[in-house]
Amino acid sequence: MGVVGVGYLGRHHARIYSKMDNVELVGIVDVDEKAALKISKEYKVPVYSSADELSFKVEAVSIAVPTKLHHKIGKVFLEKGIHTLIEKPITNSLEEAEELLQTAKEKNCILQVGHVERFNPAVDEAQKHVNNPRFIESYRLGPFNPRASEVGVVLDLMIHDIDIILFLVNSPVINIDAVGADILTDKEDIATAHLNFENGCVANVTASRVTLETMRKIRIFQENAYISLDYAKQSLKIYKKKKSSSPVKSMSDIKIIKPKLFSGEPLEAELKEFVSCVREGRKPLVSGEHGRNALEVGLEILRKLKGYKNSV
C-alpha cells in the first residue's frame, strides 16, 4: 500500500495503513518534503519522489492531494492496474471522472472514492431504518478553515451530504435550485441547495464556513417516522408512531428509539473496506460511480449558484 499526499488527511491514511494487519505501507509521496519526512520517520516508511516512482512499488494506493490533481495522479496508478482510493470529490470535472471510471474498468481495478461519512456508525445504522424518505434536510456548518479556501463549500463540505442523500433516496434528481454567497473568499462560503427527486422526495442541503458553531446534522422524514442524525457526535434518534394507522394526539403516541451504535473511526472503516475490496475483488460501498454521481449534482449546484449571483 502507498499514500500520495500526507498532509491534513493523507497522514491519517498513512497512520491507519501502518497499523493494519496484513497490510504493508511501502511508500509515501508529497511535494512538501518536511511533511513527508515527518511521516516517514513516524511510520518508518520510504519517501518516493513522484507518484510514478511509487506506482512500481504498490498493489493499491490512497490519493489525498488537492482535487485538481486527482485525475492526473489517479491515471498514473489506474493505467498500471493499481487499485485506487481517491479522496472526495473524485475529480474537478465529469469528463475527468468518466475517464478514471473507464480506465478502472479496462484495467479491472477497484476505484473507491473517500466519502467518509458513509462509514459513520450513525449513517450505517440509520440506513437500516430509512424507507422511502419524503423530505430531508441537512446542515454542515462551521468556522472558516484556510486549508480549504481553494475550493468552495459545495465541493468541500456539501458534497458529503449530497452523497449520503443520493444513497438514501436512491432516485434520480430531476431539478435543482440553489442560492449562496462568497463572504470571506472568492468562492461560495455559504450555500443552500433544494433538490427534487423523481420519486417525489425533496431535500434541502446547507453548507457554510462562516458559522461560529460547528453543526453536522441530517434529518430524514418519512411515513410514520422521523430520523435525526448527528454526524459529529455519531448519534441517532428515531421518532416513530406507535400505531401507524392511528393519528398522533400527543407525544405519548410516539416512541423514541436510540440505537446502540458501534463506536469507531469512520476513516479506519473506510480504509478497511478498501483493503477488503482489493483482496476480495468486490465493488466498494462508495464506488467511482457514486463519486461521479455526487460530483454531477455538486457541479449542477455550482452552475445554479452562478446563475443566481448573476441575477442579483
* 78 and 166 inside one domain: no
pLDDT at 312: 44
Of 82, 109, 136, the residue at which a domain comes to its end is 109
- Better-predicted residue by pLDDT, 140 or 262: 140
How much is the average pLDDT of 9-31? 97
How much is the average pLDDT of 143-164? 91
pLDDT at 252: 75
* 51 and 76 inside one domain: yes
Of 109, 134, 169, the residue at which a domain comes to its end is 109
* 19 and 159 inside one domain: no
* 99 and 145 inside one domain: no
Q: What is the CATH number of the domain that holds 166?
A: 3.30.360.10
pLDDT at 157: 96
Q: Does residue 282 belong to any structural domain of this protein?
A: no
pLDDT at 246: 75
* 105 and 123 inside one domain: no
- Better-predicted residue by pLDDT, 234 or 312: 234
Q: Does residue 305 belong to any structural domain of this protein?
A: yes
* 103 and 124 inside one domain: no
pLDDT at 148: 73
* 75 and 195 inside one domain: no
* 171 and 93 inside one domain: no
* 88 and 125 inside one domain: no
* 124 and 163 inside one domain: yes
What does the pLDDT look like over 47-86, one tens digit per residue?
Answer: 999 999 999 999 999 999 999 999 999 999 999 999 999 9
Query: Is residue 232 predicted with pLDDT exceeding 90?
Result: yes
What is the number of residues in the chain?
Answer: 312
* 30 and 146 inside one domain: no
Of 77, 109, 141, the residue at which a domain comes to its end is 109
- Better-predicted residue by pLDDT, 147 or 126: 126
Query: Is residue 217 predicted with pLDDT exceeding 50?
Result: yes
* 238 and 214 inside one domain: yes
pLDDT at 261: 92
pLDDT at 262: 83
Q: What is the CATH number of the domain that holds 98?
A: 3.40.50.720
Percent of residues, the chain, with pLDDT higher than 70:
98
Say if residues 261 and 229 touch (Cβ distance below 8 Å).
Answer: no
What does the pLDDT look like over 254-292, one tens digit per residue?
Answer: 889 999 998 889 999 999 999 999 999 999 999 999 999
pLDDT at 309: 58
Q: Does residue 286 belong to any structural domain of this protein?
A: no
Residue 89: asked if its preceding bond is cis (omega within 30°), the reply is yes
Which residue matches cell numbers 431535500? Answer: 203
pLDDT at 264: 85
Q: Does residue 33 belong to any structural domain of this protein?
A: yes
Q: Does residue 97 belong to any structural domain of this protein?
A: yes
Q: Does residue 290 belong to any structural domain of this protein?
A: no
What does the pLDDT look like over 170-199, one tens digit per residue?
Answer: 999 999 999 999 999 999 999 999 999 999
Strand partners, 193: 178, 205
What does the pLDDT look like over 81-134, one tens digit per residue?
Answer: 999 999 999 999 999 999 999 999 999 999 999 999 999 999 999 999 999 999
Number of domains in the chain: 2
The sign of the dihedral angle between the CA atoms of 213, 216, 221, 226 is negative
pLDDT at 310: 55
What average pLDDT does the structure give for the chain? 94
Task: Name the residue range of residue 12's domain.
Answer: 2-109
Q: Does residue 280 belong to any structural domain of this protein?
A: no
Q: Does residue 200 belong to any structural domain of this protein?
A: yes
